[in-house]
Structure 1
Amino acid sequence: MKRILLAALGAISLSACAQAPDSTKTPERPAAQAAGPAAQAPAAEAGTPDARAIEAIRRLNPQVQIDRIDSAPLPGFRQAIVGGQVVYVSDDGRYVFVPGPNGALFDATAKRNLSEDALASMRQDLLKKIPEGERIVFAPPNPVHTVTVFTDVACGYCQRLHAEIAEYNRQGIAVEYLAFPRMGIGSEDYKTMVSVWCAADRRQALTKAKSNGSVPPKTCKTTVDMQYDIGQRVGLTGTPMILSEDGTQLGGYVPPAQLREALDKLAAERKAAPTI
């Protein structure tokens, strides 16, 4: 349900590696991106909390299937069964809460993920702890946007993203890589990433590692452990993880043109936001 609502709010592909996929296969698109006619909702009298709950969910995603609306154990909320999952909607129809390990609170009126807004601010602070010199940067001469990407050398989606790095740069996007060996500290994956960060030419070593090439094993003092720890603290559940300059998570693997479109939209929203 969270992914369905995120798709409705303009979020993009969350494709990412939890375990290394077959990189020869084309990543599947999330089912939530499929468009279709609005699903039928339960009957509700206009102006009631039930009707407002249905309207709130519909504002976030007109296509989602609403199976049932009931009273909720949480005062001031209605309980809805949506796509096989329980969600809670405030009686005034403004807030939609999706419970679960990766749950989120949405403002249905503003069409914003309030949980993501809170995380974005924290991510900005955490990322500042990693020195700029510890990032592996691929950038065009005059970047329009800069993203931080937590990456893993063995992840198929990470490899696909890096194979298109020239196109990201042509789109005006600078990519600053941070290490997240998803198999954990001490794994072979981790050792490869340490070797990359210890290489004389990190960019060349990272490109070689992501193309399944052999990187000479090296050890040195790096911040790979710190980067891995911060990746966990910013809410990373799979690689790659793409973050905008304001800490907003933009997805996992995202095609270059689609990422540029999302970044332009974020920039426009920030410019239009009232100054407090």
Structure 2
Amino acid sequence: MRKLVATLAAISFSSAALAGVAEVEKRLKERYPSTQINEVRESVIAGLYEVVMGRNIAYTDETGRYVLFGHIFDMQAQKDLTAERLEEINKIDVASLPLEDAIKIVKGDGSRKLYVFSDPDCPFCQRLERETLPKIDNVTIYTFLFPLEGLHPDAKRKAEAIWCAKDRAKAWEAFMREGKMPEEAKCDNPIERNIQLGERLGFNGTPTILLEDGKVIPGFLPAEQLEQRMSGEKR
């Protein structure tokens, strides 16, 4: 009997919580009709609701009047809970990536996968190629040449020359690690498509690394940290 009462109480509490979330979401959409609200759910803090707005997260009370922007930290577990949620909601469907538009490099047995959006004139992309990726083994790396012309006006020309080289993988590594440009060549290339793809995915910096599960890592990482992320270990 006690188990039945406990179960019914849990169901009642869950239903009330869901009703509360639905009501908060309704209020938010009424108050802010021009704001994209994808999801509302209870946060780990009683009375505070998590609101997913596009690629961002905010927090609100049950009235929807007061909104907080920032991160919630679990100090006991030493976790940034907001950062973990942002990783989840901003995952990319890597199965939809046009791999034929990327430079493919296989290391070891190639069993793991990495997807990198990289600019040939980006200093941190060069560091990634020199310091990090040589230390990562048993991986297939798909590099999408993604020149940011606003920052690096000559990057698109270099990306096209590297793609059109006889061995684009060797040309890419030679340029990024040693600064050696291949002979100028013209060919059909995916550079403009890659730029449009990166923009659609919301990437505005390089390097941008995608893990196999679609999680996005913006910026440079040392090899040890990248290995940890690829292994699914907590930061």
TM bin (shorter chain): 0.5 to 0.7
Q: Which moved more, 1:186-195 or 1:234-243?
A: 186-195
What is the aligned counterpart of 2:230 among 246, 263, 271? 263
Which structure has the larger Rg over C-alpha atoms?
A: 2
- Contact (CA 8 Å) 1:147, 1:242: kept in 2 or not? yes
Q: Deviations over 1:113-141 (max 9, x none)?
A: 44442331xx316x6241x3332122223
Structure 1: any 5+ residue segments left out of the alignment?
Answer: 1-73, 76-88, 269-276
**Counterpart in 1 of 2:147?**
181
**Counterpart in 2 of 1:103?**
56
Report the alpha carbon displacement of residue 214 of structure 1 after superposing the two structures with TM. 2.5
Alpha-carbon RMSD across the aligned residues, in angstroms, is 3.5
Report the alpha carbon displacement of residue 239 of structure 1 after superposing the two structures with TM. 0.5
What is the aligned counterpart of 1:160 among 121, 127, 132? 127
- The reply on whether 1:118 has 2:94 as its aligned counterpart is no
Measured at CA, do residues 92 and 167 of structure 1 come closer, stay the same or move farther in structure 2, by a change above 3 Å? same
What TM-score results when the alignment is normalised by the length of structure 1?
Answer: 0.53
Q: Could you say what secondary structure the match of 1:176 adopts?
A: strand
Structure 2: any 5+ residue segments left out of the alignment?
Answer: 1-26, 29-41, 59-70
Report the alpha carbon displacement of residue 92 of structure 1 after superposing the two structures with TM. 2.4
Output the CA distance in 1 between the equivalents of 2:130 and 2:106.
14
Q: How many residues align structurally?
A: 174
Measured at CA, do residues 162 and 186 of structure 1 come closer, stay the same or move farther in structure 2, by a change above 3 Å? closer
| Equivalences for residues 193-272 of structure 1 within 5 A | 193-210=159-176, 211-265=178-232
* Identity across matched positions, percent: 23
Q: Which has the higher contact order (CA 8 A, sep 6+)?
A: 1
Q: Deviations over 1:136-185 (max 9, x none)?
A: 1222232342110000111111101111332122xx33321101101159
- Contact (CA 8 Å) 2:162, 2:181: kept in 1 or not? no
Report the alpha carbon displacement of residue 103 of structure 1 after superposing the two structures with TM. 3.4
Give the AA of the match of 2:134.
A
What TM-score results when the alignment is normalised by the length of structure 2?
Answer: 0.62
